[in-house]
Amino acid sequence: MEASVEQLVYVREDEYTVARMSADGLPAFVAAGRALAAVQPGETLRLTGEWEEHARHGSRFKVSACERIMPATVRAIQLYLGSGLIRGIGPRLAQAIVSQFGEESLKIIDTEPARLREVINIGPVRQNQIVEAWQEQKAVAALMVTLQGFGVSPLLAAKVYQAFGAESEHVLVEDPYRLIGAVRGIAFATADRIALRSGVPENSPQRLKAALVDRLEGAASGGGHCFLSPTALVTQTVELLEQDEEPIRQQLDALRAEQRVVVEADAVFLKELHGREVKLTAELTRLVRARSTLRLRLFDDDPSLHEDQQAAVNMALTSTLSILTGGPGCGKSHTVKVIASTVRSMGGRVTLCAPTGKAAKRLSELTGLPAMTVHRMLGIEPDPEALFDQVPSQADLIVIDEASMLDLHLATRLCSAVPSGSHVLLVGDSDQLPSIGPGSVLADLLQVEEIPRVRLTHIFRQASGSAIVRAAHDIRAGAMPQLPGGGGFWFEEIDDPAQVASRVVELATVGIPRKQGVSPDQVQVLCPMRKGLAGTAELGRMLQERLNPPGADRPEHWAGSSVFRVGDRVMPIRNNYDKGVFNGETGVVTALSPEERTVELVVDEQSVTYGFDELDDLTQAYAISVHRSQGSEYPFVVAPVVVEAGGIMLRRRLLYTLVTRAKAWVVLVGQRKALELAVSRLGQRRNTTLARRLTAALGG
């Protein structure tokens, strides 16, 4: 049958799609199946399948094949044009175009676009916008067919076109490995499927090289590693390709000759990551050896400080690079406040910063002093209010809080901007998770004896009464916290992951808000894993349905398996320097325009616009990973703890980081065995050579 898509109801991560459809001569009906992947409201489809009676959802059409066709009836054409598929045309303009041209509307847009100006409210600018969007839509539709022929998701078509434009078809057929890195969502496996179906030999040099680079990039993005040993790299590539070892070793040598990788001793680096490590080593060496420009006077003993805090103050005043670390309740923020106030009393200039906007805001609240993001300090992020003028070149002391979040890229950029003689104090909890990006900067620097450091260990009385602080220190020491807990820390034991997920949703949306007299916005769900019944994807969907369900008066847009609505809690997952938003910040969707194909949100008190083709840069933030919660604190935290998918993410640092994100209450729901597993397991150390390089440089 031929039918038009009225609305998407549900899209699963495996692309199984449920949609409401309309067809001439039939009442509205529901169609479902993976063959509907990437369809959008307004499209007309030729469907093949059979009717079935679903036990829960009733009668629906089970789709086995789907072909996109141009709408033919006036109603279908108006639905197509008004759906937002063609940028610049909304429902009203669609009605005006169809009223003017009827069944000839699409033909006129395609072959006689100048006639569009016969329609009221269409001038030269709008006409060009519509024609450009029409041509793009046609190209993307053609790419969908090509990708489906390769057995690849048609959802990737728009991204391929965005990256390569008119060259897209050529790249797909002639050089599909170019897609890797250029198109989000296309890694080696997808490009390789296209290449093999295009006739690329299994042992071709380009295939073996692409696989080697993929293993190195995967180690960096998935594990934070800066290098792999040659043996591990070759072994992983052999397993990936099921090819002999010797040709792969030969192509590794070829990559080295082409200077795409760097081989040092027993380590193979991507060229960029090797360059970053070398650069960061040089910059840190410069900072350590520099002669201080800070005019010092003796620091008077402060009776409010513990002796280790006193030592930290003296260290920061006398060392051009130093580290202050310690767990919750040990007074890091108060120590930073004393250090900053002391430098200012000497006439010095101080800059306080942190990797994320939330972390900077929290630092400002705790110290009573202005703070900014590292990106803003470096001039990467625009500062329209110009609140700060202590840029690195002007500051005598720079304090970087939440330094465990610094990855190799940001740390290198930061240190390169600091002038010799300025003091840099890194503040962080070395027992928390490392950065999302590659490297383990804070942990590496703590291995270098030549860099002064103070670890605060004394827990102050006002903090010692907190069950969260007590549980965190137990976990850090490898001991099980007191269960079920109380006074801020609580464990609710449930074995079944599905029941765990339901209970987490109930607590986050009803239980805690009702008992504590707060809004659900004050409760954050954190998850050790993304997949599974109690992962961020499924819990996020359940929470969105409960807190921000679909409505007839609420426009929405599906991007893959995520649907965006006004009021959604969202989070950027990639830095965007042009927009001034950064990975890990949270925002709220304030407007959604199908006609302009844009989503507006407020992030860190600033309004930002994303195009529909940029929504891969956003994720729903109803449930987020523990990694993405770093640098943030929430009044109330609820988290599932289950051994799903082998519990591969359950590690002591992850659990410790999770618990320390809560200010008032943290509630863990799940299996005792999962909690015990997390407490007992130490995480894998990242492959880096920064500590060794820096030790050699400073020792020399």
Separation between Cα atoms, residue 443 and residue 569, nearest integer Å: 32
Q: Is 329 annotated as a binding residue?
A: yes
Q: Is 332 annotated as a binding residue?
A: yes
Separation between Cα atoms, residue 550 and residue 9, nearest integer Å: 9
Burial class (CB in 10 A: 0-12, 13-18, 19+), 487: exposed
What's CA 452's distance to the chain center, in Å?
Answer: 33
Residue type, 476: R
Strands 397-400 and 423-428: parallel
* Residue 385: count of CB within 10 angstroms of its CB: 8
Concatenated DSSP letters for 10-31?
A: EE-TT--EEEEEEETTEEEEEE
Q: Is 327 annotated as a binding residue?
A: no
Q: Is 105 annotated as a binding residue?
A: no
Nearest to 279, CA basis, from 293, 296, 256, 262? 262
- In three-state secondary structure terms, 466 is coil
Residue type, 25: G
Q: Is 527 annotated as a binding residue?
A: no
294 neighbors 272 (Cβ within 8 angstroms): no
Q: Give the alpha-carbon dihedral of 381, 382, 386, 392, to 10 degrees.
A: 40
Helices (H) and strands (E) counted in the chain, each on its own, are 25, 26
The tokens describing 152, both together, are: 């690849």
Nearest to 380, CA basis, from 93, 622, 580, 114? 580
DSSP single-letter state for residue 480: P
Residue 369: which H helix or E strand, with range? none
Separation between Cα atoms, residue 342 and residue 397, nearest integer Å: 11
Query: Which amino acids are annotated as binding site for ATP, given as ranges?
Result: 329-333
Query: Which amino acids are annotated as binding site, given as ranges?
Result: 329-333
